[in-house]
Structure 1
Amino acid sequence: MEYRTILVHVDESRRAHEQIRIAALLAQKYNAHLIGAAATGVAPQFFMPGVIGDSNLALLGSALNDLREHAESLLAEFESSAWKMDVKSFEKRLIEEDAGTGLVLQARYSDLVVIGQVNPADYSPLLRADFQEYVLMNSGRPVLIVPYAGHFPQVGKRVLLAWDGSMEATRAVSASIPLLQQADLVRVLVLDTGRPADAHGEQPGADIAIYLARHGIKLEVTEQKIPADIDVGNALLSHAADFGADLIVMGGYGHTRFREILLGGVTRTVLASMTVPVLMFH
């Protein structure tokens, strides 16, 4: 897999510049086409006659124009940043839809999606509360999530890869190979969470290490036993800090039959408390 098209969410948060900068750096590194997408937050069909009262149509139509103008101003800032960072190929897209639905659709034609972690103190009425979870669970693409706090001059030099032998972790590994190949060091953290013994093979971490080494990835393997009474998500974040990781790669675990945002505890913890960018794939 190669990153030839990178999609970045251009939102109205105070941190939008950081996720745009990181997406632009990745576009430069992989000679990829960069797409900046900003959403109005409302589908234009909502303003059609018959959906709302005719007496409110003019007023709400004006509101929609204001939303478009605001999104277009965000895209102008994205365009300026892309020019300043000398991104060779980029475009801006206006999404006349809520950001979650619109970004998921655009993700189908991208190799990597870059979004920001939702900051509870920076609430936007145009952004669904479960935005990051929704994109992760529905895009079908690897999602790189940038924390709402901190500055990350580089991403992917020291990578912590959370490995538990699951299908979700396998997808995350495959989707992150371009990043892992560029890393100075990848630490494969084998999480022993009580999965069946055959999930890891005879020697935990050995098979995944051989697989990654064949891709020319510089790595080391460490095993961490996680007792049932320990919060795995916080243990993972603590290990990342001790290792000095600038990127975490992990599977995005969830159960969609009941509710799309009903994610596994590890995923919820990392999404809420991440301190470095995290690449997830469900």
Structure 2
Amino acid sequence: MTYKTMMVHLDTSRGAKTRLSFALKLARKFGAHLDGVFAMLDPHPVGFYAMTGAADYYEAHRRFLTQKRREVEGLFRAELTRARVPGRWNAPDGYPVTTIVQRGRTADLVVLGQSRPKDPESYVADHFLETVLLGAGSPVLLVPETSSLEVVGDRVLIGWNGSREAARAIHDAIPFIARATHVTVVAISTVVKAGPTEASCADVVTMLRRHTTHPVDVARFERSLAVSTGDALLRFAIDGEYDLLVTGAYGHARFQEFVLGGVTRAILASMALPVLMSH
């Protein structure tokens, strides 16, 4: 099992180049085709024309967007050639969230960037990450925009709580796990909520050992109620020098929005290493 079709979201933000470099490394590692999909905020003209004197501003914005898109396309094509990775550039029209979700459904792995509130060009739409994570149907690899890791997936940490989402994430991460030199399954409990049983963890380890000849172990600990599960996972990952966290993406649809669970929100807000999530 491997990833043969990967997709990376590109825009004009400062983190796009980091994200592209990261995706190219993975595409080379797995011998995958890489689709670069350009999608960013493109305000609807009706909103501009409704404001007096805004038509010229809108046209200037459109010219700016076209020029920036050409620059990102040039970077993508040049980096594909340099990395000797097969790929394709896509800049489809339409609502950007819908574009990424639909394209993601035909990818083995979707690479997205971390939200950067201080960089306005990284804004795609409200609830962008939530919608893709919970709606694409493919595993999503989230990349910290400051990531400079040369190796990803060498030491893998798996967050296990016995849920369907966690199981889905493990299976989606098998290509990484099979190549990792060390894998740890971590189970977290609190004084008021027990974690998964030892038997459950042992079953996961048994399954994973059939995919790799390298060590697979279990870590169980009780977190303080003052620390969230998401923060406890991230702290454990950083302290243990892991370079990939694998976890379920928890959430549900409410009205017209996707709402993330607390663990997923905490990881998205504070992650300092790549995180593979599946819903």
What is the CA distance between 1:11 and its match in structure 2?
1.6
List aligned pairs for 1:131-142, cutoff 5 A: 131-142=128-139
Does the aligned pair in 1 maintain the 2:160–2:196 contact within 8 Å? no
Match of 1:170 among 154, 167, 173: 167
SS at 2:159 equivalent = strand
What is the CA distance between 1:110 and its match in structure 2?
0.7
SS at 1:13 equivalent = coil
Match of 1:242 among 218, 239, 243: 239
What is the CA distance between 1:76 and its match in structure 2?
1.2
Could you say which residue in structure 2 is the equivalent of 1:17? 17
SS at 1:82 equivalent = helix
- 5+ residue gaps, structure 1, are none
Distance in 2, matches of 1:193 and 1:102, equals 40
List aligned pairs for 1:99-138, cutoff 5 A: 99-124=96-121, 127-138=124-135
Could you say which residue in structure 1 is the equivalent of 2:29? 29
Match of 2:154 among 152, 157, 160: 157
Matched, 1:233 2:230: yes
Report the CA distance shift for 1:194/1:267 in structure 2 as closer, same or farther (over 3 A): farther
What is the CA distance between 1:83 and its match in structure 2?
1.4
What is the CA distance between 1:40 and its match in structure 2?
5.3
- Deviation per CA, 1:72-107: give whole Å up to 9, x if none: 3212111111111221x1111112234322111111
- 5+ residue gaps, structure 2, are none
What is the CA distance between 1:66 and its match in structure 2?
4.1
Matched, 1:262 2:259: yes
Does the aligned pair in 1 maintain the 2:160–2:186 contact within 8 Å? yes
Does the aligned pair in 2 maintain the 1:40–1:97 contact within 8 Å? no
Does the aligned pair in 1 maintain the 2:111–2:142 contact within 8 Å? yes
Percentage of identical aligned residues: 36
Match of 1:210 among 206, 216, 227: 206
Kindly provide the amino acid, as one letter, of the partner of residue 68 in structure 1.
T
SS at 1:248 equivalent = strand
Report the CA distance shift for 1:52/1:217 in structure 2 as closer, same or farther (over 3 A): farther
Distance in 1, matches of 2:160 and 2:174, equals 14
SS at 2:260 equivalent = coil
Distance in 2, matches of 1:154 and 1:187, equals 17
Match of 1:276 among 267, 273, 276: 273
Match of 2:83 among 79, 82, 85: 85
Kindly provide the amino acid, as one letter, of the partner of residue 14 in structure 2.
R
Kindly provide the amino acid, as one letter, of the partner of residue 70 in structure 2.
E
What is the CA distance between 1:183 and its match in structure 2?
0.7
- Deviation per CA, 1:140-183: give whole Å up to 9, x if none: 11110111223111111111110111011011001110011111
Distance in 2, matches of 1:73 and 1:237, equals 35
Kindly provide the amino acid, as one letter, of the partner of residue 27 in structure 2.
A
Match of 1:184 among 181, 185, 192: 181
SS at 1:95 equivalent = coil
Kindly provide the amino acid, as one letter, of the partner of residue 16 in structure 1.
A
SS at 2:185 equivalent = strand
What is the CA distance between 1:204 and its match in structure 2?
4.2
Kindly provide the amino acid, as one letter, of the partner of residue 170 in structure 2.
V
Distance in 2, matches of 1:210 and 1:72, equals 49
Distance in 2, matches of 1:13 and 1:76, equals 15
Does the aligned pair in 2 maintain the 1:37–1:94 contact within 8 Å? yes
- State the Cα RMSD in Å: 2.7
Distance in 2, matches of 1:76 and 1:172, equals 34
- Deviation per CA, 1:3-57: give whole Å up to 9, x if none: 11000011212121111111111111111110111125338xx559xx968x988
